[in-house]
Amino acid sequence: MHGVVLTKLKAFVEKNFDENTWQAILVEADMPDAVFVPIRMYPDEQLGAIAAAAVKLSGMPPNELLESFGRFLAPHLKEMYAALIPKSWRTEELLLHVEDTIHRVVRMKNPGAEPPRLQFTSLGDGELQLDYTSKRRMEALARGIMIGIAEGYDEALDITESPLPDGGTRMHIRVSSAA
């Protein structure tokens, strides 16, 4: 997993809890001296162990924690590839171009990074469909990132989910202006 995800997870924990909590999470995850930098890749297992420790110590349900982290992460991801995001885009355009523009460049520039292959389809009238099939099964993170992106454009999302027959999740997304 890209170091940007781990460094922002640390920032998320420090913002919502405190610095000692991050240290306690590392101890619980059996990597007390771990230091992460945003330009390196780390084994997925490290993120898994840290997320499990964060769930245990925070008492938050895993999906709630991951979704909340996704919301926090979204503006940082946007900033990281701001050069690829035209000013005229809003939530819908950005989501429709994540795969062909953004995740494609992430794969090219960061050997070892494997962002999920996201299949977005426009259904018209501000409605989109996303088929999420990553083996990492981080649907809650995907939901949180999308909500965080929408918040940055003063828009809101209504998301419903159903399972795909071969694994993964289909999400139906309705974009509206924030109330």
Length in residues, the chain: 179
- Binding positions for ligand HEM, 122-161, rule CB under 6 A: 134, 136, 138, 141-142, 145-146, 149
Footprint of ligand HEM on 81-100 (CB under 6 A): 81, 95, 98
Collapse the DSSP code of 155 into the 3-class scheme (helix H, G, I; strand E, B; otherwise coil) and give the result: strand
Complex with ligand HEM: residue 24 or 118, whichever CB lies closer:
118
Is residue 175 a contact point for ligand HEM (CB under 6 A)?
A: no
Q: 26 vs 102, which CB is nearer to ligand HEM? A: 102
Residue 114 as a binder of ligand HEM (CB under 6 A): the answer is: yes
Region 11-70 residues binding ligand HEM, contact defined as CB under 6 A: none
> What SS3 class is residue 169?
strand
* Residue 73 token pair: 């992460």
Amino acid in position 133 = T
List all residues 6 or more positions away from 73 whose beta carbon is below 8 Å from its beta carbon: 5, 8, 12, 141, 144, 145, 148
Burial of 127 from C-beta contacts in 10 A (0-12 / 13-18 / 19+): middle
Q: Kindly tell me which of 18 and 64 has the beta carbon lying closer to ligand HEM.
A: 64
Interacting residues toward ligand HEM by CB under 6 A: 1-2, 4-5, 77-78, 80-81, 95, 98, 102-103, 106, 113-116, 118, 134, 136, 138, 141-142, 145-146, 149
